[in-house]
Structure 1
Amino acid sequence: MTTRAPTALTLPSVGPEPLALDRAHDAVLGYARGLRWLRFRSPGVPEGRWTQVPAFGWSRFDTRPAGENLDADVLLGEGLHGRLDPAGWHAVHDALAALAPRVDELEARAGGRPFWELPDEELSVLGEPGTVGALLRRIGEDAGPRPAHVLAALHHRRPDLVPHLTRTTRRTLLPLLEEGDSGVEAVVHRELRANEEGFAALEAALAEDVAEVRPTRLRLHDVLLWLATTLRFAHAENEGRRVRGAS
């Protein structure tokens, strides 16, 4: 019997209806290649002119090489979430330094397995202490006043293990928590496990369009969730269609 290929992702965090894989593909492609207009003024052109710049953080984050030190990690966080003032910069730097031993614990506990291949018990309070879910919860609690920058840097270092969550996406996941979940990361884990074939198909579909980097399905989930919760999905989807039409 031939298994029918999935045509949609079922992601309650993104919306109540299944998300067609074609739409998800266009949205991620638009995130990677989409443009927006910016009015630019310079000493040579004081009257200003319009120019197009990347609409999203792909080129400033996803395509950048892994940081060689904490300073580089902070810059990666800034590439996705914006420049920090001196106090914010030091807060992120210090948080990353303080969290290093806990991240080592997390990697040891995962034992080389990516986030979506971990058993459900690793994201349940029933297995605590010492589970992946418990360690991720502590990392989120100790990320300091700029948690988005910290988690972005940690995700960039381990894109297959550390979910990248912001205040906005975390709030979106909260109503989907189930009894026994160790944290909102359990919701992400559940959606990745339930859509294993769909995300594998999405990875394959994007392989040629964004050949410079292969985003993990954890990052793909993050992008789709962020686009939906910040009302940017339509822009990214339209840009993805434009890019595909121009190729």
Structure 2
Amino acid sequence: MNSREEQLKAFDRLLTIMDDLREKCPWDRKQTMESLRHLTIEETYELGDAILDNDLEEVRKELGDVLLHLVFYAKIGSETKDFDIADVANGICEKLISRHPHIYGDVKVENEDDVKKNWENLKLKEGKKSVLEGVPRSLPALVKATRIQDKVSGVGFDWENPAQVFAKVQEELEEFQDEVNNVDKDKMEAEFGDVLFSMINYARFLNINPENALERTNKKFIKRFQYLESKAEENKKQLKDMTLAEMDVFWNEAKKL
């Protein structure tokens, strides 16, 4: 691995290249924070894909892309004299020191749960009016639900054990089925949302990341369905012309791969 000196030298090289690009490249000169925003989101998702695939070489590359975006935003901030990369780095350093009094102060903690509770309480002392202020509005609903539950748990608003949460899941499923039987679409949707929220909560109690779990299932389904498509093509058939029984043969084959 590289030494700290080599790491700092590499980061300085990136800052220098960013300066050059911003000055000399027509595309880079044109960019704003707003124009970069959707690209940053895309790069973050690509990093997430690489992590789920456990492709460490791809993780390294995608981290570089994300790092470039961070440096880019800081460069734009320096041009307007609002902040630069040193302000960004020092800001997060100060926050980490402030939020970890069990490392940089005299607070004692017993476990990870104590750390999380201290973290949320410290944020309230810093002026936050609600523990939920830090949940981005634009997060996908599944991720947002997970973060909401994590945050309220940090201040003690939580179930005591997984059995209670599972009972809530069953209760919400029954309420959802009642509305399905009543054929009330609006209430069905509301109750289905409650089912998902309770399932996400149950996953949290079981230390399962629901976003990762669902994406793994997505990938598994895609792999199996594409196997089904390839087998249909080998047999010179169109899926729409095949019976479910015929498709199940290939689907079951795919499950064994």
TM-score, normalisation: structure 1 = 0.22
Query: Which structure features the higher share of strand residues?
Result: 1
Query: Which structure features the higher share of helix residues?
Result: 2
TM-score, normalisation: structure 2 = 0.21
